[in-house]
Structure 1
Amino acid sequence: MNLDGLGQVDLRLLVAFNALMEERSVTRAAERLDLSQPAMSRSLQRLRQLFGDELFIRQSHGLSPSPRAEQLHEMLRPLLDDMLRLVAPVTVDPSQLRRTFRIGILDLFSQMVVAPLIKTLQAAAPHVRLKVVNLEAYSMESLASGQLDFVLNLGDEAPANIHSRVLCYEEPVCLLRRDHPAAVMPLTVEQFVALPFVHFWIPGFNEHRQLDQLLFGKALTRDVWLETNNLMTAMNALCDADLAMIAGKRIYSVLPRADELVALPLPFAELEPVAIRLLWHRRNHANVEHQWMRDLVASLFGPLGDESAGQRSE
């Protein structure tokens, strides 16, 4: 018989043979495998045909295995144990995990994520390393090609073959330096549109789209003096040049120079919170090491964490 011929062998017979060898009784072996005694007797007959040997001799105290049965059991039991491990659920022992996870992340989020994540890894998974790169316009392509394990970004939609998990929702606020003349509550619509703004540009996401569409519907616009995707440039301009900036209420607390700023509610009740999402490729969705890291990142943000899949092209 060659390897392909194994397809003709009922592997359940091997399990029955192991039970017969260990129980030395058709009745007890049947009970152990939740089978009837006639069914186990039929399995024994098929085993004898398969191996061309009597295998067991009935005696007053039970079944006595033949020399061939002893030889088969010595070879078979390790194989059954290997098969059991093969089909058993895969688990992760973080303390033994050795790999590097590559994450594309915006500077804004790195303030919230990287240091707490490293601290957790040092305690629970000392052999895990991180490679954190700036989020770029091509980061989703890097995720699809396998150059990145995860992307952390804002947004409501995931591209084809990309899964995502909502980590939290951010309420947009208006940031101003503390001694700014407009840094008083409440901020009116008229005061808001009169402010000079810095637009912090996020690759692949227009975080001001909802706001500016709302203003357009009111025949209003903002005056954007500076556009940048560099966090320190944005923060220095915000703190030193009398500009305003839209950011998340949660993110604001961990920004550089946050103690020099105030966060004012926006004067637009229609604005909805924005989702912060962790994204990964479909190929890694069932990988237990990826699942472990996804749960770890999500734990930094709190109890929210529903997973969803983007449209898939089969």
Structure 2
Amino acid sequence: MNSNRLEKLEIHHLKVFISLYQVQNTSKTAESLGLTQSAISRTLKKLRDTFDDPLFIRNKAGLVPTEYADNLYSRLPDALDSLLLTFQPQGFFSPRDLSEELRIALHPSALKLIGPELYMRIKSEAPKVKVRLDNCDSGTSVSLLNGNIHMALNHEILGQPKEIYRENLFTDELCIYARKQHPLATDAHPPKALKRFDLAVCIGTEVEDGMKVKAQAEMMSDIEYSIDLRCGDLQTAVDVISASDTILIGSKMYLACYPNSLQKIDISFSKSIEVPFSISILQKNRNNSLNMWLRKIITEIMAEKVK
């Protein structure tokens, strides 16, 4: 590749390459970009000279990318999006211009609660992006630090690195759930009533290494609770609760997710056990236009779901 010529490439040359790769047709590329076919041909020649590679081989079906073009395309769209966002004035950010993969990690019940609407809202405003929604896990903080995900939605984690910025979404609280018609379904009960039943939690959702909600419950009630089921999947935990007298301990989001399967049990702790629920992003990216746009969408959806 001729490095001197590379310095003469402009953004629109790279946009032409991306479009050519995607549609593999010069006339369709010209139409989509509002250019003439001769302008596309001139740009392709410049790209070929710059990268010292034919980039596309013409056959009866259209343009077939070379191996070099495949490798270039695998990195270029995300790199170009990042470059455009870097120099784009805040007021001119346009989600419709995005084409990268947006990666968000969510607490399992938040994924269940807002995942479908979050995906559809993102795609309605940024139709060219790909969306990846994952469960939060023990590696989420590292993924944030490494830039492998854009943001995470989870309970507060004590000792989180200072490079990660947290913005509170709402105050969650520890709730006690059971099936409909459970023996504890009516009236209020003292905390010791829980000792008569198996207790279940969904692993990774209550942040035992952070807020220590189990320890708080034991301290308030002066009772040591034994967890009989630790389940990695929220739906499976709810299925167990629906078919047995096992008690599920977890977020107030659970009832919003499964209103027909769960019933909140009134256990008279001396006070509610509150757990901040937040968006986490890298400090250096907190005012990034992309992240501000995503945070606005998430905040609006969550406000409707969690009253």
Q: What amino acid maps onto 2:298 in structure 1? A: V
- Compared CA separation, residues 89 and 210, structure 1 to 2 (3 A): closer
Residues 194, 223 of structure 1: 8 Å contact kept: no
Q: Which moved more, 1:110-119 or 1:89-98?
A: 89-98
Q: Structure 1: where are the runs of 5+ without partners?
A: 1-85, 304-314
Give the secondary-structure state (helix, strand or coil) at the position aligned to 1:190.
helix
Higher alpha-carbon Rg: 1
2:300 corresponds in structure 1 to 299
Separation (CA, whole Å) in 2 of partners of 1:98 and 1:301: 25
In 2, are the aligned partners of 1:176 and 1:262 still within 8 Å (CA)?
Answer: yes
**In the alignment, which residue of structure 2 is the partner of 1:66?**
none
Q: 1:120-164, CA deviations, whole angstroms, 9 ceiling, x for partnerless residues? A: 123322223211122221111111011111111111644220011
Match of 1:132 in 2: 133
Out of 192, 204, 227, the residue aligned to residue 202 of structure 1 is: 204
Distance verdict in 2 for CA 1:88–1:235, change over 3 Å: closer
Q: Given the alignment of the two structures, is residue 251 of structure 1 paired with residue 254 of structure 2, yes or no?
A: yes
Partner of 2:115: 114
Whichever residue aligns with residue 293 of structure 1, its letter is: L
Q: Cα deviation per residue 1:182-225 (whole Å; 9 max; x = unaligned)?
A: 21121222312332101222168117823433424543122321
For 2:196, give the aligned amino acid: A
Are 2:182 and 1:180 aligned? yes
CA distance in 2, matches of 1:213, 1:250: 20
Distance 1:213 1:173 in 2: 13
Say which of 219, 227, 230 aligns to 1:227. Answer: 230
1:226 deviation in Å? 0.9
Provide the rounded CA distance (Å) in 2 between the counterparts of 1:92 and 1:287. Answer: 10
Mapped to 1, the partners of 2:151 and 2:182 lie a distance apart of: 38
- Which aligned pairs between 1:259-274 and structure 2 lie closer than 5 A? 259-274=260-275
Q: Is the 8 A contact 1:171 1:273 kept in 2?
A: yes
After superposition, residues 159-178 of structure 1 pair within 5 angstroms as 159-178=161-180
- The percent identity for this pair of structures is 17
1:92 partner amino acid: F
Structure 1 residues 111 and 200: CA distance shift in structure 2, 3 A: same
Change (3 A) 1:122 1:145: closer
Instruction: State the Cα distance separating 1:165 from its structure 2 match.
Output: 1.2
1:240 partner letter? A
What is the letter of the counterpart of residue 186 of structure 2? V
Where does residue 291 of structure 2 map in the other structure? 290
Q: Partner letter of residue 173 of structure 1? A: C
From the superposition, tell whether residues 125 and 247 of structure 1 become closer, same or farther in structure 2 (CA, over 3 Å): same
Distance in 2 between residues matched to 1:272 and 1:196, nearest whole Å: 20
Q: Provide the aligned length of Structure 1 versus Structure 2.
A: 217
Whether the 8 Å CA contact 1:211–1:271 is kept in 2: the answer is no
Tell me which residue corresponds to 1:239: 242
Code of the aligned partner of 2:294: M
Q: Distance in 1 between matches of 2:164 and 2:206?
A: 15
Cα 1:107–1:218 shift into 2, 3 Å: closer
**TM-score in terms of structure 1 length:** 0.62
1:97 maps to a residue whose letter is: L
Aligned Cα RMSD in Å?
2.6
C-alpha spacing 1:139/1:199, structure 2 compared with 1 (3 Å)? same
- Which residue does the alignment assign to 1:16? none
Contact 2:108 2:205 in 1 (8 A): no
Q: Give me the whole-angstrom Cα distance separating, in 2, the residues matched to 1:155 and 1:126.
A: 32
TM-score normalised to the size of structure 2? 0.63
The 3 A distance-change label for structure 1 pair 87 and 297 is closer
8 Å contact kept, 1:249–1:263: no
